[in-house]
Amino acid sequence: MNEPDDLDLQEPPNGAGGLGALAATARHVLAQMGPVRATRTLLRMNQPDGFDCPGCAWPEPEHRSAFEFCENGAKAVAEEATERRIDRAFFARHSVADLAARDDFWLSQQGRLTEPMWKPVGAAHYEPLAWDAAFARLAHHLRGLRCPNAAAFYTSGRTSNEAAFLYQLFVRAFGTNNLPDCSNLCHESSGFALIESLGVGKGTVQLEDFDAADAIFVIGQNPGTNHPRMLTTLQAAARRGCRIVSVNPLREAGLDHFAHPQEPWEWPGRGTRIADLFVPVRIGGDAALWKAVNKSLLEHEAARPGTVLDAAFVDDHTSGFEAWRAATLALPWDVLLAEAGVDRLTVERMAEIARRSERTICTWAMGLTQHIHAVETIQEVVNFLLLRGNIGRPGAGVCPVRGHSNVQGDRTMGICERPPAWLDRLGEVFGFAPPRHEGLDVVGTIEAMERGDVGVFFALGGNFLSAAPDTERTARALQRCALTAQVSTKLNRSHLVTGGEALILPCLGRTERDVQPAGPQFVTVENSMGVVSRSRGHLEPASPHLRSEPRIVADLGTALFAGHPGGGPRVPWGALADDYRRIRAHIADVVPGFDGYERKLEAEGSFVLPNAARERDFRTDTGRARFLVSPLRRAELGPDEWLLMTIRSHDQYNTTLYGLDDRYRGIANGRRVVLLAPEDIVEAGLTQGMQVDLVGVDGDGARVAPDFTVVPYAIPRRNAAAYFPEANVLVPLEHRAERSRTPASKAVRIRIQRRP
Ligand SMILES: Nc1nc2c(c(=O)[nH]1)N[C@H]1C(S)=C(S)[C@@H](COP(=O)(O)OP(=O)(O)OC[C@H]3O[C@@H](n4cnc5c(=O)[nH]c(N)nc54)[C@H](O)[C@@H]3O)O[C@H]1N2
Ligand SMILES: Nc1nc2c(c(=O)[nH]1)N[C@H]1C(S)=C(S)[C@@H](COP(=O)(O)OP(=O)(O)OC[C@H]3O[C@@H](n4cnc5c(=O)[nH]c(N)nc54)[C@H](O)[C@@H]3O)O[C@H]1N2
Ligand SMILES: [Mo]
Q: Where in the chain is the domain with CATH 3.40.228.10?
A: 188-400
Mean per-residue pLDDT pooled into runs of 10, the chain (756 residues): 70 87 83 81 75 81 60 85 95 98 94 98 98 98 97 97 98 98 98 98 96 98 94 95 98 92 75 95 98 98 97 98 98 98 98 98 98 98 98 97 94 98 97 96 98 98 98 98 98 98 97 97 95 93 98 97 73 96 98 97 93 97 98 93 98 94 96 98 97 93 94 98 98 97 98 93
Angle, helices 18-33 vs 71-80, to 10°: value is 10
Atom of ligand 1 nearest to the CA of 402: 14
DSSP state of 61: P
Ligand 1 pocket, Cβ-based, cut-off 6 angstroms: 55-56, 72, 186, 219-222, 225-227, 247-250, 252, 281, 283-284, 286, 365-367, 403-404, 645, 647-648, 652-654, 746
Q: Tell me how far the alpha carbon of residue 556 is from its chain's centroid.
A: 27
Q: Where in the chain is the domain with CATH 2.40.40.20?
A: 641-754
Q: In terms of DSSP H, where are the helices of 147-227?
A: 161-174, 188-198, 209-212, 223-226
As a dihedral over the C-alpha atoms of residue 365, residue 705, residue 486, residue 432, rounded to 10 degrees, the angle is -60
User: What is the per-residue pLDDT for 68?
Assistant: 55
Listing DSSP states for 148-168 in one string gives GGGEEEEE-TT--HHHHHHHH
Residue 347, CA distances (Å) to 245, 278, 426, 717 in order: 12, 11, 49, 19
Separation between Cα atoms, residue 76 and residue 447, nearest integer Å = 32
Please, what is the end-to-end C-alpha distance for the chain in angstroms?
20
Burial 288-301 (b: 16+ CB within 10 A, else e): bbbbbbbbbbbebb
Atom of ligand 1 nearest to the CA of 221: 20
Handedness of CA 474, 479, 480, 482 (dihedral sign): positive
Residue 423 Cα to ligand 1 middle (Å) = 33
Are 213 and 625 in contact by the 8 Å Cβ rule? The answer is no
> Which residue CA neighbors atom 17 of ligand 1 most closely?
226
- Residue of 647, 655, 745 to mutate, ligand 1, most atoms within 8 A of C-beta: 647
> Is any ligand 2 atom within 6 A of the Cβ of residue 112?
no
User: What is the per-residue pLDDT for 194?
Assistant: 98
User: What is the per-residue pLDDT for 2?
Assistant: 42
Residue 755 Cα to ligand 3 middle (Å) = 33
Are 617 and 308 in contact by the 8 Å Cβ rule? The answer is no
Separation between Cα atoms, residue 14 and residue 3, nearest integer Å = 27
Q: Of the candidates 191, 242, 192, 195, which has an alpha carbon nearest to the alpha carbon of residue 217?
A: 242
Residue 526 Cα to ligand 2 middle (Å) = 18
Ligand nearest to the CA of 736: 2
Q: Of the candidates 583, 601, 602, 599, which has an alpha carbon nearest to the alpha carbon of residue 591?
A: 583
Instruction: Give the other-Cβ count within 10 Å of 338's Cβ.
Output: 15
Separation between Cα atoms, residue 251 and residue 14, nearest integer Å = 9
Residues with Cβ within 8 Å of 587's Cβ and at least 6 positions away in sequence, in order, are 161, 162, 165, 413, 594, 597
Are 189 and 737 in contact by the 8 Å Cβ rule? The answer is yes
Q: What CATH architecture applies to the domain 188-400?
A: 3-Layer(aba) Sandwich (3.40)
Q: Where in the chain is the domain with CATH 3.40.50.740?
A: 85-175+435-507+547-595
List beta partners, residue 736. Answer: 743
Residue 56 Cα to ligand 2 middle (Å) = 12
Fold of 641-754: Barwin-like endoglucanases (2.40.40)
Residue 283 Cα to ligand 3 middle (Å) = 19
User: What is the per-residue pLDDT for 3?
Assistant: 46
Which residues hold their Cβ within 5 A of ligand 3, which is an ion? 186, 403
Q: Of the candidates 439, 437, 433, which has an alpha carbon nearest to the alpha carbon of residue 417?
A: 439
Q: Taking the domain 85-175+435-507+547-595, which CATH number applies?
A: 3.40.50.740
Q: Tell me how far the alpha carbon of residue 626 is from its chain's centroid.
A: 26
